[in-house]
């Protein structure tokens, strides 16, 4: 089953002719993803790698190819516009990879998307992977920038703000023989489209997901809200990790959203609350998979 994407999802790539967009569209294709269209205003009529048609606008791309998901690799000054264009074109799942979008742009975009039948993931996120059943998990759907080879098809759902910490958790699981249903990177920005709680709810309903790893960091209350929801509603075992125990207060630690505002959004406070909510908290990033397996009763 998986959530949000599967091996049949038809994906378009906004910004496919930029260097990042191109590199990752290529890697996604190699992974087996159905990349069916690209969009770069002014380059309509060209082809990406001789097989993917490029369009001037998202509406045309959707009409011609039936794409339902979009990966956005558009630079920060134009990314908010790209999100709104995709929503207007009827895209169901928008995954915005771009880092550096002004916070006020995202504030307005989020308001503008209200009431529309669209899910936004990100921005400033590594994207989503539903691993395939082929060799090195090929044949799945990869939207974004994650390295494909670390994945394995299986039953653990992974949700995280950080891309590279997601890869750590996924690789640990794969090496221990446990695969993933879907891996969702929600991104590091303070205002984003999808929260930890949103994803936990989806994993909770997904028959293929049996256990969950949740990765967070300092700043904001998203992990705490997710944990509190889970303690009342989630049927499946969850392990968590919070990065930034050593972060000095008041400094933005890379991610725009990773800044300690007060007592409640430190790593220590979040870990404590997660534990109180029945989530098994991993003390170090190297133990995330092992912590889950113990909590799940597999180890």
Partner 1 sequence: MNIHEYQAKELFDRFQVPSPKGQVASTPEEAAEAARQFAGSKLVIKAQVHAGGRGKGHFKNGFKGGVHLIDSPEQAAEFAAKMLNETLVTVQTGESGRLVRKVMIAEAVDITHEYYLAILMDRASCRPVIVASTEGGMNIEDVAHDSPEKIFRQAVHPLLGLQPYEVRKVTAALGLSGDLAKQFSKLLANLYKLFLECDCSMLEINPLVTTPDGRVLALDAKFGFDDNALYRHPEIVAMRDKEEEDPREVAASEYDLNYIGLDGNIACLVNGAGLAMATMDVIKHFGGEPANFLDVGGGASKEQVTAAFKIILGDPKVKGIMINIFGGIMDCNIIAEGVIAAAKETGLPIPLVVRLEGNNVEAGKAALKASGINITTAATMAEAAEKIVALVN
Residues labelled catalytic: 255
- CA atoms within 13 Å, Cβ hemisphere of 160: 28
Interaction residues for partner 1, span 177-216 (CB under 8 A):
188, 190-191, 215
Sheet of strand 69-72, all strands in order from the earlier edge strand to the far edge: 47-48, 52-55, 34-39, 10-14, 69-72, 93-96, 119-121
- DSSP letter, residue 134: S
Using CB under 8 A, which of 43, 221, 236, 298 touches partner 1? 221
Can residue 165 be called a binding residue for partner 1 (CB under 8 A)?
yes
Q: Contact between 241 and partner 1 (CB under 8 A)?
A: yes
Q: Which of 77, 134, 177, 249 binds partner 1 (CB under 8 A)?
A: 77
Taking CB under 8 A as the criterion, the residue among 37, 243, 269, 280 binding partner 1 is: 243
Residue 126 binds to partner 1 (criterion: CB under 8 A): yes
Q: How far is the CB of 11 from partner 1 (least distance, A)?
A: 17
In three state form, how does the secondary structure of 28-91 look? HHHHCCEEEEEECCCCCCCEECCCEEEECCHHHHHHHHCCCEEEECCCHHHHHHHHHHHHHCCC
Which residue, among 215, 128, 132, 211, has the nearest Cα to 169 in the 3D structure?
A: 215
Q: How many CB atoms lie within 10 A of CB 141?
A: 26
What letters, b where the CB count within 10 A reaches 16 and e where it falls short, cover 200-210?
A: bbbbbebebbb
Among 94, 150, 213, 280, binds partner 1 (CB under 8 A): 150
Range in contact with partner 1 (rule: CB under 8 A) among 8-16, 18-26, 33-41, 64-72? 18-26
Contact 165, 215 (CB under 8 A): yes
Residue of 138, 153, 161, 270 interacting with partner 1 (CB under 8 A): 161
Spatial distance between the Cα atoms of 103 and 257, rounded to a whole number of angstroms: 10
The one among 53, 131, 154, 220 contacting partner 1 by CB under 8 A: 220
In whole angstroms, the minimum distance from the beta carbon of 131 to partner 1 comes to: 15
Residues near partner 1, by CB under 8 A: 20, 23-24, 76-77, 99-104, 106-108, 110-112, 126, 145-147, 150, 160-165, 167-168, 171, 188, 190-191, 215, 217-221, 241, 243-248, 251-258, 262, 267, 283-287
């Amino acid at each position: 089953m998986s959530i949000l994407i599967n091996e049949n999802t038809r994906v378009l790539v906004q910004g496919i002719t930029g260097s990042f967009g191109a590199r990752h569209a290529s890697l996604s294709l190699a992974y087996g993803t159905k990349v069916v269209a690209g969009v770069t205003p002014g380059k309509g009529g060209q082809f990406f790698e001789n097989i993917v048609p490029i369009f001037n606008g998202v509406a045309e791309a959707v009409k011609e190819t039936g794409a339902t998901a979009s990966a956005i690799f558009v630079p920060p000054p134009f990314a908010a516009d790209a999100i709104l264009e995709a929503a207007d074109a009827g895209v169901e799942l928008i995954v915005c990879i771009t880092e550096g979008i002004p916070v006020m742009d995202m504030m307005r975009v989020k308001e503008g998307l209200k009431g529309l039948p669209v899910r936004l993931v990100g921005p400033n996120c590594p994207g989503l992977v539903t691993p395939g059943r082929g060799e090195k998990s090929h044949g799945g759907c990869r939207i974004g920038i994650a390295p494909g080879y670390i994945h394995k098809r299986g039953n653990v759902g992974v949700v995280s703000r950080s891309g590279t910490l997601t890869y750590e958790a996924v690789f640990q699981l794969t090496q221990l023989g446990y695969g993933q249903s879907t891996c969702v990177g929600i991104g590091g920005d303070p205002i984003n489209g999808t929260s930890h709680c949103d994803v936990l709810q989806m994993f909770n309903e997904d028959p293929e997901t049996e256990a969950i790893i949740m990765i967070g960091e300092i700043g904001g209350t998203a992990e705490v809200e997710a944990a509190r929801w889970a303690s009342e509603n989630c049927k499946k075992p969850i392990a968590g990790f919070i990065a930034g125990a050593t972060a000095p207060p008041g400094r933005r630690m890379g991610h725009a959203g990773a800044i300690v505002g007060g007592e409640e959004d430190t790593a220590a406070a979040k870990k404590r609350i997660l534990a109180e909510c029945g989530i098994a908290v991993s003390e170090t990033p190297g133990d995330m998979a092992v912590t889950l397996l113990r909590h799940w009763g597999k180890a």
